[in-house]
Amino acid sequence: MLPSSLRVELNGNVAVLRLCRSAKRNALDDDTVLGIEEFFSAPPEQARAVVLDSEGDHFSAGLDLSELTERDVFAGLEHSMMWHRAFDRIESGRLPVIAVLRGAVVGGGLELACAAHIRVAEDTTFYALPEGQHGLFVGGGGSVRVPRLIGAHRMADMMLTGRVLDAREGHQAGLSHYLTGPGEGSAKAMGLAVRAAANSPVTNFAVLQALPRIAQANPAEGYLLESLMAAVAGGSSEAKERMRAFLEGRAGKVQRQESHP
């Protein structure tokens, strides 16, 4: 059972998980974060990809400040680790996740977005990490995930000065993969999710589970893991059938596509 702040829709083999707190700019309370963990721990059986979307004009304005109750140090540690656990279910789960960003992608909202594998930003999107101005520090995995995308120096600028990046600045920095016009993000994300869902499950497993570990490994270990994963993927019956289809002209060839901004 998910909280009322989340809604799930199924579109074929793509599941859409939607944040539904538009009156609060989809700020994240504990029930919502725990609901995200619940969903990604046991996604719908027929789902092969997920679109993470939101109602209203904003993806998420971050932590619901009404959740900032008095906690001792250990309770604060446990609260942060709960967010880590929930967002790790997204990043380290079995399904590709495409996030649709619009309006505020702020604080914990940015931490949530960075746990997705692909991010589509509408041109209304803006990014900020205002924790420094509130006397706080990020606690939802941002200090790990955000620097991987934009570098620690850019994140430091955002936290020290309160700098806000608009959609194009964020895109150029590396926070999004695709940039669209207003209202076009959901359709773009759905198209990407349908394509990802059509991949072999073994290939998607390799991309989601092996690739991040290879990227962090030393070269010798990375090459070995790559060889092992390539052998597992190439040895699957589905891979053999797909290659036969390609060689026999039953599968399309790579074509040039329109460039993306």
Q: Which residues are catalytic?
A: 111, 131
Under 8 Å between Cβ of 19 and 5: yes
Query: 223 and 175 in one domain?
Result: no
Query: 220 and 124 in one domain?
Result: no
The residue to which tokens 């090459």 are assigned = 223
> CB count, 10 Å around CB of 243?
12
Would 180 be classed as within a structural domain? Answer: yes
The whole-model pTM stands at 0.92
Per-residue pLDDT in tens (0 to 9) along the chain, 261 residues: 899 999 999 999 999 999 999 999 999 999 999 999 999 999 999 999 999 999 999 999 999 877 777 788 999 899 999 999 999 999 999 999 999 999 999 999 999 999 999 999 999 999 999 988 888 899 999 999 999 999 999 999 999 999 999 999 999 999 999 999 999 999 999 999 999 999 999 999 999 999 999 999 999 999 999 999 999 988 777 766 766 665 656 655 546 666 555
Give the number of domains in the chain. 2
> CB count, 10 Å around CB of 104?
25
Query: 12 and 127 in one domain?
Result: yes
Report residue 205 CA to chain centroid gap. 16
Query: 206 and 123 in one domain?
Result: no
| Rg of the chain taking only CA atoms, in angstroms | 19
Query: 235 and 120 in one domain?
Result: no
CATH of the domain at 192: 3.90.226.10
Residues pairing with 7 in the sheet: 18
Domain of residue 53 covers 6-197
